[in-house]
């Protein structure tokens, strides 16, 4: 295998082809010259004058948007999203403790309306989309004074070839006023979070007629404002059934791009991705620290993946990764999924306006407070929906991630041997990705073919490696960080 890249010639080059798997080495020794201008665009930065370390592989490029995804993105309809947000706001309040029986006002009316819409979309699916309202009674707990039924609305689109692998897109349909225990006052919850529910619904509508390889759940969950109860119930149920959830996205406060100080950034959405996994034990976290894997949790790999598949030219949006679980003092529905060991992340608008979240609807000193639809930007929500569509569709069309990915640390060597097992979904080949340890995103990719082991002529001490699956249509899975084995 011929791999370009400036590195030492000779000894390690001859390793090529000597092992059971694929060996990739320095076939061509390029002169290490012209250091000042890195070919891959990495900025040298203070104290840095070249691309160190050099190694094999081509520069990682974003995944092209294929024809079907392009069609999906085109079908996202801002007017329909606007109607959904306005309809949800019109239930007066959707507080989790509000009426569950009133046909006009309260969370029960909103629940039934969402379910009815989802069932309408499912009719176009040829029986592949089913809509359920899984629920349980939450006994008294923080912010839940009396036993309260928590109901989620879940539209499940069955995967056509790998239905056991599941992706989740979610928003929360409950809302709140200034006092989180106030179930009576108006709480239109347009941005927080009719916007996120509208995205889950719009994607359900558009994808119902299509055949993703893996299964997708489009969810509207309750109880978020009272303590993430609905999402925790969904995550717990999936875990109890042993479901292989390979990614979950919550869209929460994705309705506007203008902050209370007037800042506008309508072409950006933040994606919050946790570092140290909540599901790992103290020993696992310690090992992660020893390996320099603190920036390589499954959630971070998911974030990197989104930046590779959500082409701004196609979505109209830049994804701004934030290497943090959530904003200060805030929480979200991705958290219970992370706690169950599922990769999960949160989409949120780039600049928030706190006069229009968690506020009673009122005018004070001439200023309108409250989470009203008039402060939403429906074209903005549509762009966030396109980012979600690109992420979820690309995940569901790709093979699952490889499993049991290990790096051989049994001997001191200057090359790196990686080993893995196929995941589900029929990968036809694999790629090794790598980056210098202090870089945020994968930089180089090496096609190692249809194998389950590869030796790379580059020291594991100096870079971070990952392994990803490639499907017959060229769709890539997120990368997996190897552990010593």
CB nearer to Zn ion: pick between 256 and 454: 256
- Taking residue 192's Cβ as centre, other Cβ atoms within 10 Å add up to 27
CB nearer to Zn ion: pick between 192 and 443: 192
Residue 186 · residue 178 · CB < 8 Å: no
CB nearer to Zn ion: pick between 252 and 308: 252
Query: According to the binding rule CB under 5 A, does residue 51 interact with Zn ion?
Result: no
**Chain centroid offset of residue 89 CA:** 26
CB of 172 to Zn ion, least distance (A): 6
Give the footprint of Zn ion on residues 81-120 (CB under 5 A). Answer: none
Query: Could you tell me how many residues of this chain bind Zn ion (CB under 5 A)?
Result: 3
CB nearer to Zn ion: pick between 253 and 391: 253
> Alpha-carbon distance 223 to 444, whole Å?
43
* SS3 annotation, 229-271: HHHHHHHHHHHHCCCEEEEEEEECCCCCCECCCCCECCCEEEE
CB of 270 to Zn ion, least distance (A): 14
Q: DSSP for 419-484? A: EEE--SS--SEEEEEEEETT-SS--EEEEEES-SEEEESS-TTTEEEEEEEE-TTS-BPPPB--EE
Q: Which residue stretch of 116-124, 158-166, 189-197, 312-320 sits at the interface with Zn ion (rule: CB under 5 A)? A: 189-197
CB of 253 to Zn ion, least distance (A): 6
CB nearer to Zn ion: pick between 333 and 340: 333
Q: Which residue stretch of 53-61, 66-74, 95-103, 246-254 sits at the interface with Zn ion (rule: CB under 5 A)? A: 246-254
Q: Which residue stretch of 3-11, 40-48, 71-79, 244-252 sits at the interface with Zn ion (rule: CB under 5 A)? A: 244-252
Give Dmax (Cα) for the chain.
78
CB of 259 to Zn ion, least distance (A): 17
CB of 330 to Zn ion, least distance (A): 8
Query: According to the binding rule CB under 5 A, does residue 252 interact with Zn ion?
Result: yes
- Helix/strand/coil for 193: helix
CB nearer to Zn ion: pick between 119 and 327: 327
CB of 266 to Zn ion, least distance (A): 20
CB nearer to Zn ion: pick between 215 and 357: 357
Structure tokens at 179: 């006092």
Rounded alpha-carbon distances, angstroms, from residue 316 to 198, 267, 390, 472: 18, 6, 12, 28
Binding mask 190-209 for Zn ion (x = CB under 5 A): --xx----------------
CB nearer to Zn ion: pick between 192 and 353: 192
> Alpha-carbon distance 255 to 175, whole Å?
14
Q: Which residue stretch of 36-44, 199-207, 250-258, 285-293 sits at the interface with Zn ion (rule: CB under 5 A)? A: 250-258
Q: Which residue stretch of 104-112, 247-255, 343-351, 412-420 sits at the interface with Zn ion (rule: CB under 5 A)? A: 247-255
Sheet holding 344-348, edge to edge: 129-132, 153-157, 214-221, 162-172, 244-251, 344-348, 268-272, 318-322
> Alpha-carbon distance 457 to 25, whole Å?
5
CB of 190 to Zn ion, least distance (A): 11
Closest CA to 320 of 264, 267, 389, 395: 267
CA torsion 251→253→256→262, rounded to 10°?
A: -140
CB nearer to Zn ion: pick between 192 and 352: 192
CB of 197 to Zn ion, least distance (A): 10
279 DSSP 8-state letter: T
Q: Which residue stretch of 98-106, 185-193, 255-263, 393-401 sits at the interface with Zn ion (rule: CB under 5 A)? A: 185-193
CB of 362 to Zn ion, least distance (A): 20
> Alpha-carbon distance 191 to 349, whole Å?
10
CB of 180 to Zn ion, least distance (A): 12
CB of 333 to Zn ion, least distance (A): 8
> Alpha-carbon distance 173 to 189, whole Å?
8
Query: According to the binding rule CB under 5 A, does residue 251 interact with Zn ion?
Result: no
Binding mask 144-183 for Zn ion (x = CB under 5 A): ----------------------------------------
CB nearer to Zn ion: pick between 193 and 431: 193
Residue 469 · residue 427 · CB < 8 Å: yes
CB nearer to Zn ion: pick between 239 and 330: 330
- Helix/strand/coil for 380: helix
CB of 175 to Zn ion, least distance (A): 8
CB nearer to Zn ion: pick between 125 and 226: 226
CB nearer to Zn ion: pick between 186 and 193: 193
Residue whose structure tokens are 């109880």:
223
Rounded alpha-carbon distances, angstroms, from residue 144 to 148, 220, 332: 7, 20, 17
Give the footprint of Zn ion on residues 373-392 (CB under 5 A). Answer: none
CB of 272 to Zn ion, least distance (A): 13
Q: Which residue stretch of 88-96, 159-167, 184-192, 383-391 sits at the interface with Zn ion (rule: CB under 5 A)? A: 184-192
Q: Would you tell me which residues interact with Zn ion (CB under 5 A)?
A: 192-193, 252
């Amino acid at each position: 295998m011929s791999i370009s890249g400036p590195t030492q010639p000779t000894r390690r080059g001859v390793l090529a082809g000597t092992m059971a798997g694929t060996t990739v080495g320095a076939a061509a020794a390029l002169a290490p010259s012209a250091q000042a201008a890195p070919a891959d665009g990495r900025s040298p930065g203070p104290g840095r004058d070249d691309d160190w370390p050099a190694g094999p592989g081509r520069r990682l490029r974003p995944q092209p948007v294929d024809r079907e995804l392009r069609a999906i993105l085109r079908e996202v309809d801002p007017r329909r999203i606007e109607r959904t947000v306005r309809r949800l706001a019109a239930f007066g309040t959707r507080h989790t403790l509000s009426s569950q029986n009133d046909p006009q006002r309260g969370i029960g009316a909103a629940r039934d309306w969402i379910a009815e819409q989802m069932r309408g979309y499912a009719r176009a699916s040829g029986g592949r989309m089913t809509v359920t309202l899984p629920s349980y009674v939450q006994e008294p707990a923080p912010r839940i004074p009396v036993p309260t039924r928590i109901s989620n609305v879940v539209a499940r689109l069955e995967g056509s070839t790998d239905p056991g692998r599941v992706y989740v897109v979610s928003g929360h349909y409950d809302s709140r006023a200034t006092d989180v225990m106030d179930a009576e006052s108006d709480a239109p919850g347009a941005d927080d979070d009719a916007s996120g529910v509208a995205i889950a619904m719009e994607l359900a509508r558009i994808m119902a007629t299509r055949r993703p390889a893996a299964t997708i759940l489009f969810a509207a969950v309750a109880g978020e404002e009272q303590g993430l109860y609905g999402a925790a119930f969904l995550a717990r149920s999936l875990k109890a059934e042993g479901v292989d959830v390979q990614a979950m996205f919550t869209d929460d406060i994705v309705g506007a791009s203008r902050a209370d100080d007037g800042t506008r950034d309508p072409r950006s959405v933040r994606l919050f991705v946790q570092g140290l996994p909540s599901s790992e034990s103290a020993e696992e976290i310690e090992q992660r620290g020893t390996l320099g894997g603190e920036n390589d949790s499954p959630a971070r790999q998911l974030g990197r993946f989104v930046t590779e598949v959500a082409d701004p030219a196609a979505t109209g949006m830049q994804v701004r990764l934030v290497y943090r679980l959530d904003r200060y003092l805030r929480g979200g529905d991705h958290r219970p999924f992370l706690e169950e060991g599922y990769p999960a992340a949160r989409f949120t608008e780039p600049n928030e306006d706190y006069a229009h979240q968690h506020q009673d609807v009122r005018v004070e000193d001439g200023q309108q407070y409250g989470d009203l639809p008039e402060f939403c930007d429906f074209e903005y929500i549509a762009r966030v929906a396109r980012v979600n569509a690109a992420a979820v569709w690309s995940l569901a069309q790709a093979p699952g991630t490889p499993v049991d990915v290990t790096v051989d640390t049994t001997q001191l060597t200057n090359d790196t041997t990686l080993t893995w097992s196929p995941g589900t979904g029929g990968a036809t080949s694999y790629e090794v990705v790598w980056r210098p340890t202090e870089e945020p995103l994968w930089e180089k990719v090496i096609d190692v073919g249809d194998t389950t082991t590869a030796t790379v002529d580059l020291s594991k001490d100096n870079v971070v490696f990952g392994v990803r699956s490639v499907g017959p249509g060229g769709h890539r899975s997120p990368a997996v960080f190897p552990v010593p084995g």
